[in-house]
Copies of this chain bind each other. A is one copy, B any other.
């Protein structure tokens, strides 16, 4: 392995100058810089990361801990985040160190990594409404950025989130605008912030557009196809006057289940029942291809990776927190799975 010292000797320069030249410091002449850069290249010099890190006090490692999962199954969205994150961090010359917690203690990997001084910061995914990992990192003063957020009304940490209130709001609004008066929202788990926000948005829309009364029920659960199927089936089995004509889903996977249930009931989409979902574009489900094409609020998870990485870097550079709390809007894309309520003739006048 070729070191800075070797280069300096070869060039009759001091290691200090070589280091400066390679790291773009101004106090080195252009000629010397070129010379150094050239020899470094020719000698195929690679700075020893460890030495660099020891000297600078930065490890260049970012901790990523697999979020705890209720059953031991895998959250496919995490995979998406992980790969996207890795790619972006690589560009920033940071590395991802991955840990899977032993199930009992979700904080332990963080404690361990912090104790070892092995990482400069963390990315926290799938935060709970009240999350012990966030609590720990905050109290320990370790830099971290959250994908999503916890329940605190004004978080004092860096995060990247989408406007989940709007997701719920827009879904409900669209359905209401189409004349639907009996809605059902198949939301995510009850203990995560995004579900909470979407529910708030959903219910706010019910209130805002309730010139004629609109009814909506919200159901919570793990976002699986089965959950979507079962809950939609249950909703559609209600007596006629409580049966939803518009179903909002917190994920495309849920929507897949819901649509299956609708069909099993002998109903048509969107003639009898409209379906809208939030789509964060997990590749598995995208490939599925919905028929009819699904109306969604759209915000690809992968798109979150770049900001997440960049926010973290900002954090490490000591940037102001204000710029490191990002909330993005999801895009409403209307396709064929939503249409006017089958009962809309009765209420059209009131809506318009």
Contacts and interface: CB of A to CB of B under 8 A. Distances in A.
B97 A97 contact: yes
B86 A100 contact: yes
B48 A284 contact: no
B118 A95 contact: yes
Contacts of A96: 97-99
A32 B284 CA distance: 59
A98 B86 CA distance: 7
A102 to B, nearest CB: 6
Interface stretch (A66-74, A141-149, A314-322): A66-74
A86 B82 CA distance: 15
Interface in A77-96: 79, 82-84, 86-87, 90, 95-96
A30 interface: no
- Which bracket fits the contact residues of A? 35 or more
Contacts of A73: 283-284, 287
A1 B98 contact: no
Contacts of A117: 1, 46, 48-50
Interface in A108-158: 109, 112, 115-118
A46 B116 contact: yes
Given A76-B74, A283-B74, A98 B64 contact: yes
A54 interface: yes
A82 B83 CA distance: 13
A100 B98 CA distance: 12
B100 A49 contact: no
A283 B72 contact: yes
Nearest to A61: B97
Contacts of A79: 74, 79
Given A49-B116, A50-B117, A74-B76, 11 more contacts: A49-B117, A50-B59, A54-B54, A66-B86, A74-B79, A82-B100, A84-B100, A90-B109, A90-B112, A96-B97, A97-B98
Interface of A: 1, 46, 48-51, 53-54, 59, 61, 64, 66, 71-74, 76, 79, 82-84, 86-87, 90, 95-100, 102, 109, 112, 115-118, 283-284, 287
